[in-house]
Structure 1
Amino acid sequence: MDMAIKLGVTVLLGMLIGIEREIRRKPVGLRTCMVISIVSCLLTIISIESAYLFPKTNEVRMDPMRLAAQIISGIGFLGAGVILRRHNDVISGLTTASIIWGAAGIGIACGAGFYLEAVLAVGLILFSVEVMPAVMKRLGPRCFREKEIHISLTLHKNVIVTDVLKKIKAKDLHIKKVKIKDLPQQENEIDLHVLMSDERYTSEVYYEIKAIAAIQSVEIENVA
């Protein structure tokens, strides 16, 4: 009965974490988080019970959390699998990787019988990834109210790049990174990483930049 309670609590808490990932359309979702939590809980139960079962006396001769400790290092392989490097040198998946690690920790806590701590941890995890970012966007520094976009521009012949960059800055866009490349027929290609207000639409910026006469073509992508 005690084992069933531990596994049951683990299923519910793992499900809450998985639902949050499903809502955000992340690769690690409901099923993955639940499986990680359940297996972590099961291995913790086995580790603790084995410590008391195998010795001939009632005295514990082995670390009851020895097997559970290996879960933390083993779960790193799953976490590494969801961390991606995009073509524009942006790293994504770090939050999902930490969620995987957290789901394993919840399973270990439930397996060891720390129900209250596990429930509190899930509440704090959901608060950290859902509520806190929204609060910081309203009350935090300016960087929390900005988003980054990647802009690729092709300029017409004999256009001064500096003049184009000045016109882009004048549209309330903060240029973070610039890469300039020469093309055949005296044309230039510019790759920009730009910070702008989170409330602005990417399509709005697209039309504003496209209206600059010196620009031949525009390609815009949200970085995150």
Structure 2
Amino acid sequence: MDLHLFIKLGISAILGLVIGLERELKRKPVGLKTCLVISIVSCLLTIVSIESSYVFQLKDHITMDPLRLAAQIVSGIGFLGAGVILRRGNDSISGLTTAALIWGAAGIGIAVGAGFYWEAILSMALLIVSVELIPLLTVFLGPKQLREKEFVLQITISNAENIDDVISAIKQQTIDIKTIHIKDVDEKHHLLKLKVAVDQKQSTTDVYYFIRSIPSVTNIEIENI
């Protein structure tokens, strides 16, 4: 086996390692080992696809597409991506970034296997910048919607007449109410479910303590979206 093929697999492993570490540090379901496997095997299959097309063409005069296996890698990664996309009880969806990154790890493996080293390195760097640096910049420089984080609040109120007072008190703070859902728990208690947005710099505990201090609130639950 030629040395440059070992070099291809090594570069692919290093680039996949960087992507995997980024996911591992964030405790995502697809981490270091998965990204390494995807990147290395994608590179390997691309090498096999390219090399075999020339081998069979020379021996048996068979015309083959040198990237036929690489095309199937892109489709096959979709099954892994679908497995990490989760829908939570509050109708929010998580795992899309992880699914996109494993697709990116496969693309980087294919690029290295095909011999596009610098393109693969640049792509890996841009991927890390996109998922790490850009979100931080939007917190300070982006529009208001990108500088906000959303919560789901479930507030138990002791009296139905106090619901308007609670909503008014929340609106007086820097809390933007997106949706309101009211449910009767029993004759004396009522559940107020709110989807709200606050500034990224405002902590979850500050929101909790403020709402808990409202006299008619007997119970509160906060969930990050």
TM over 0.5: yes
Runs of 4+ off more than 3 Å? 56-60
Q: Which residue of 2 aligns with 1:117?
A: 119
3-state SS in 1 of match to 2:179: strand
- The CA distance in 1 between the partners of 2:137 and 2:60, in whole Å, is 52
3-state SS in 1 of match to 2:63: coil
2:71 counterpart of 1:69:
yes
The 5 A counterparts of 1:120-159 are: 120-159=122-161
Identity between Structure 1 and Structure 2 (%) = 54
Q: Which residue of 2 aligns with 1:192?
A: 194
The 5 A counterparts of 1:72-221 are: 72-221=74-223
Give the direction of change, closer, same or farther, for the CA distance of 1:201–1:49 in structure 2 (3 Å limit).
same
CA drift at 1:59: 6.6
Gaps of 5+ in 2: none
3-state SS in 2 of match to 1:184: coil
Equivalent pair of 1:52/1:59 in contact (CA under 8 Å): no
- 40, 51, 55: which is aligned to 1:38? 40
CA RMSD of aligned residues (A): 1.4
Give the direction of change, closer, same or farther, for the CA distance of 1:58–1:112 in structure 2 (3 Å limit).
farther
CA drift at 1:53: 1.0
CA drift at 1:60: 6.6
Letter in 2 for 1:45: I
Equivalent pair of 1:6/1:110 in contact (CA under 8 Å): yes
User: How does the TM-score come out when normalised to structure 2?
Assistant: 0.95
CA drift at 1:76: 0.5
- The CA distance in 2 between the partners of 1:191 and 1:158, in whole Å, is 14
Deviations 1:100-144 (A, max 9, x none): 000000000000000010000001001100111111111111122
Deviations 1:50-85 (A, max 9, x none): 111112469771111111100011000100111111
Give the aligned length. 223
Gaps of 5+ in 1: none
User: How does the TM-score come out when normalised to structure 1?
Assistant: 0.95
3-state SS in 2 of match to 1:219: strand
CA drift at 1:2: 1.6
Equivalent pair of 1:106/1:122 in contact (CA under 8 Å): yes
Letter in 1 for 2:9: L
CA drift at 1:186: 4.1
- The CA distance in 1 between the partners of 2:58 and 2:15, in whole Å, is 36
